Amino acid sequence: MTMASAVISVPTTASRFALLQVDSDSDSESGKNKGSQDSGKARARKSSGGKSSQNSDKKKDKRKKKKEQQQSEANELRNLAFKKLPQKSSVPQAALTLQSVANELLNPSAGEQAVPQECWQQWKRRDEQLTNELYEADLEKALILSKLEYEEHKQDYENTETTSPKSRGGGKKDRRKNHQGKEKRLTDIRTINPLSHDSRFFDKLEDDVSKIVLREKRREQFSNSGSTEATTSVEYEPDVRAEQLKYELEKKDLEIEKLKKVISQWEAKYKEVKARNAQLLKMLQQGEMKDKAEILLQVEELLNIKEELSSQVTLLHASLEQEKSKVKGLQSDQPKHHQGNKK
C-alpha cells in the first residue's frame, strides 16, 4: 500500500498530517544529486581559487544542512502519524493533490475498504492521547510561568514599599544600581523559586490542569452533541437532558389530549343546556301568552258584570226615589185623614 492509500483508508475524517507530501526519498535523492553537482562545481571553483568561492560553498553547506533538518523533521512527523510505515527507495512518488484525495475518498478501492476499523480506533486513541499530553504540558508551563511572574511582581512591590523616599529621590547612578540589583534578584528568583516550591505546588498544578481539561472536554461534548445526531457510524452516549426534555414533552402532550377531551365533553354538555334553555323560553313565552289571554277574558267578564251591576243600582235608586215620594205623599195625607175623623 502507498502512503496515499494509507491516508485515505480513514472512513470518516482525515488526520492533520494527511496533507504532508510523502516524496521523502525523491527529495533525498534529488538532494544528493544536487549535493554532488554542487560539490563538483565547488571543486572546479576551488581549482580557480578565491574567497568568493569559499563563501558560496559555506552558503551552500548551510542550505544543505537546513534541507536535511527539514527532511528529518518531516520524516519524524510521518513516522509519528503513520506508525513508521516502510518507504519506497527507488520510485519517486508524486505529491498529493486535493483533487486526487477527493476522488480516492469518494471512490475507495477494494483493498482500502478491507482495512479493519480497529486500526482506525487505535490511531484515533493515540492521536487523542498525544494531543491531551501536549495540551496538559502547555497548561502546566503556562501556570508555572504565571505563578512565577506573580511572585516576582509581588516581591518587587514589597521592595518598592520598603524603599524610603530619600532613596527614590537619588540620582541616576542609584537608579542604575537599583535596576541592576532588581535584574539580579529576578534571575536569582527564577533559579531558586522552582527549588523552593513544595510538593504541594506541583500537586496543585496537576489538579488545575486536570480541572481545565475536564471543563474543555465537557464543552466539546456539549458542542458536539448536536452534530453527533448526523453521524450514525460513531457510537455516542445519549444526552440525559434531551431525554428528560422529551419525557416532559410527552407528558405535556398527554395532558393536552386529556384537556381537549374534557373540553369536548363540556362543549357537548353546553350545547345540550343551550337547547334546553331554548325549549324553556318557548314554553314560557307560550305560557305568558295564554295567561295574558285568560286575564283579558276575565277583565272583559268583570266589565260586563260591572255594567250589569251599575244598571241594577240605577234601577234600585230610581225605585228608592219613587218609594220616598210615596212615603212623603202618605205623610202629607195622614193629618187630613185625622182631622176628618175628629169631625
Whether residue 185 is contained in a domain is answered as: yes
pLDDT at 121 exceeding the cut of 70: yes
Whether residue 99 is contained in a domain is answered as: no
Instruction: State pLDDT tens for residues 140-193.
Output: 788 788 878 888 777 777 777 666 554 444 555 555 555 555 555 555 544 444
Range of the domain at 132: 117-226
Q: How many Å apart are CA 20 and CA 104, to the nearest integer?
A: 16
Residues 124 and 221 in one domain: yes
Whether residue 337 is contained in a domain is answered as: no
Q: How many Å apart are CA 266 and CA 260, to the nearest integer?
A: 10
| Nine-digit cell string for 3 | 502512503
Q: How many Å apart are CA 50 and CA 313, to the nearest integer?
A: 174
CB 81 within 8 A of CB 17: yes
| Residues sharing a CB contact under 8 Å with residue 144, sequence separation 6 or more, in sequence order | 194, 205
Whether residue 168 is contained in a domain is answered as: yes
Q: How many Å apart are CA 330 and CA 323, to the nearest integer?
A: 11
pTM over 0.85: no
Q: Which of 46-50, 223-227, 256-260 has the lowest mean pLDDT?
A: 46-50
Residues 208 and 141 in one domain: yes
Instruction: State pLDDT tens for residues 56-93.
Output: 777 788 888 888 888 887 777 677 655 444 444 444 44
Residue 84 gets the label, from left (phi > 0), alpha (psi -120 to 50) or beta, of left
Residues 126 and 192 in one domain: yes
Whether residue 235 is contained in a domain is answered as: no
CB 22 within 8 A of CB 71: no
Residues 269 and 222 in one domain: no
On average, the pLDDT of the chain sits at 69
pLDDT at 218 exceeding the cut of 60: yes
Question: Which phi and psi (to 5°) does residue 170 adopt?
Answer: -70, 180
- Look at residues 166, 195, 226 and tell me which one is the last residue of a structural domain: 226
Instruction: State pLDDT tens for residues 285-329.
Output: 887 788 888 888 889 999 999 999 999 999 999 999 988 888 888
* Distance (Å) of CA 87 to CA 69, 72, 208: 18, 14, 43
Whether residue 103 is contained in a domain is answered as: no
The domain tally of the chain equals 2
Whether residue 278 is contained in a domain is answered as: yes
pLDDT at 271: 93
**Helix (H/G/I), strand (E/B), else coil: 198:** coil
pLDDT at 21 exceeding the cut of 70: no
Residues 142 and 198 in one domain: yes
